[in-house]
A and B are shown apart, each in its own frame.
Chain A
Amino acid sequence: DIQITQSPSSLSASVGDRVTITCRAGQSISNYLNWYQQKQGKAPKVLIYAASSLQSGVPSRFSGSGSGTDFSLTISSLQPEDFATYYCQQSYNTPYTFGQGTKLEIK
């Protein structure tokens, strides 16, 4: 199984801040890395697919980068609606493992 290590597990930030969340895969997964946002009590929503492609309808303040084993999600200027939990997921090989999640909270 491909292990995915996501960090940090939680993060406090202010509106307007730039934040970065990282995921590291236990082996190379090329660009088969997706990022999801989940708000409390709601289903997840895809933000970034294939490591760096912005899903349609997602604000451009979200961006993804990386390939191989190291990936990151950056929010360039936090908005109030961005406070949520974020997950990365590898779709290179089954089982399609998720990271542990990063809870982004208001400072």
Chain B
Amino acid sequence: EVQLLQYGGGLIQPGGSLRLSCVASGFTLNSYAMSWVRQAPGKGLEWVSSLRPSGSTTYYADSVKGRFTISTDNSKNTLFLQMNNLRAEDTAIYYCAKTSTRSTGGCLDSWGQGTLVTVSS
């Protein structure tokens, strides 16, 4: 059974950094593209970042480019999102998600439980 278990998140001051983790089980991370999607309180879904297998190619929303970094540790079957220079508008529930294919152009067929990131002083 495919499972994605998320860790990290919490309350952080503006300008601070945080790293989210997403531990995958039931499949090999290196075989599928992976993504992060966020949802601000009471709002819709926003795609944040995607990564092809082996971290060969990464993609970012303009709103996070240069501040967020997506990566994997294949030895731990874990996906990460390093978030730097956080802003109030980054406050959201962050979901990791598995793509159905090696390409990032598939659907998001499995999701983590979500983790809340609150950026506030």
Q: CB of A100 within 8 A of chain B?
A: yes
Stretch at the interface among A10-18, A45-53, A67-75, A76-84: A45-53
Q: B44, B62, B106, B113: which contacts A95 (Cβ < 8 A)?
A: B62
- Whether the pair B44, A101 counts as a contact (CB closer than 8 A) is yes
Closest-by-CB residue of A relative to B100 is A49
Find residues 51-107 in chain A having any chain B CB closer than 8 Å to their own CB: 55, 87, 89, 91-92, 94-101
Residue pair A91, B105 in contact (C-beta under 8 Å): yes
Q: Does B80 contact A (CB under 8 A)?
A: no
Which of B45, B59, B62, B108 is close to A46, meaning CB atoms less than 8 Å apart? B108
- A34 within 8 Å of B (CB atoms): yes
A50 neighbours in B (Cβ, 8 Å): 107
Q: How many residues of B contact A (CB 8 A)?
A: 22
- Contacting residues of chain B (100-121) with chain A, CB-CB under 8 angstroms: 100, 104-109, 111-114
Nearest residue (CB) in A for B43 is: A101
Are A32 and B111 in touch, CB under 8 angstroms?
no
> Given that A89-B47, A98-B47 are known contacts, is A44 also in contact with B111, CB under 8 Å in the complex?
yes
- Mark A residues whose CB is within 8 Å of B: 32, 34, 36, 38, 43-46, 49-50, 55, 87, 89, 91-92, 94-101
List 4 tightest A-B contacts by C-beta distance, closest first.
Answer: A49-B107, A43-B111, A34-B107, A96-B47
Task: Report B's interface with A, CB cutoff 8 A.
Answer: 35, 37, 44-47, 50, 59, 61-62, 95, 100, 104-109, 111-114
Known: A50-B107, A91-B107. 8 other contacts (CB 8 A): A34-B108, A36-B108, A43-B112, A44-B108, A95-B59, A98-B45, A98-B47, A99-B44
